[in-house]
Amino acid sequence: MTFGRDRLHGSLDLLVLSNLAGGPRYGYQILASLRERSGGRIILKAGTLYPILHKLERDKCVRTWWDDATGRDRKWYALTERGRKRMESRAREWLDYAACVRGLLGPLAERLAPPSPPLDAVGK
């Protein structure tokens, strides 16, 4: 089952930033990578991704350059130091929130929740 827009809404920039933590990427590659690494459960549309990337660029969280070495003229994105800091603070916030919700769900969470993924998966 894919996650709906509402579920993703607050964590989109975290997902994009963490995807760039593995190295520079271009837009199409980010979408493909998120889809693949989430097992097809996180499918962003182009119309959602690009405005986020451009906002991150304006905020100086990513730096960009054009390069056609891959055979096609593409705009590449890479994490800046500021972007890395934002990613970490967002990740912390998100994990904190998830743990809090989990705590509030109590026994229900114990019964239904899948085991948490290892924390070092972030950014790979």
Footprint of other proteins (CB under 8 A)? 26-28, 32, 45-48, 50-51, 54-55, 66, 72-75
Report the nearest approach of other proteins to the CB of residue 69 (Å).
Answer: 13
Nearer to other proteins by Cβ, of 75 and 102: the residue is 75
CA distance 86 to 92: 10
CA distance 99 to 92: 10
Nearer to other proteins by Cβ, of 54 and 90: the residue is 54
81 in Cβ contact with 61 (< 8 Å): no
Report the nearest approach of other proteins to the CB of residue 117 (Å).
Answer: 27
Distance of CA 71 to the CA centre of its chain: 26
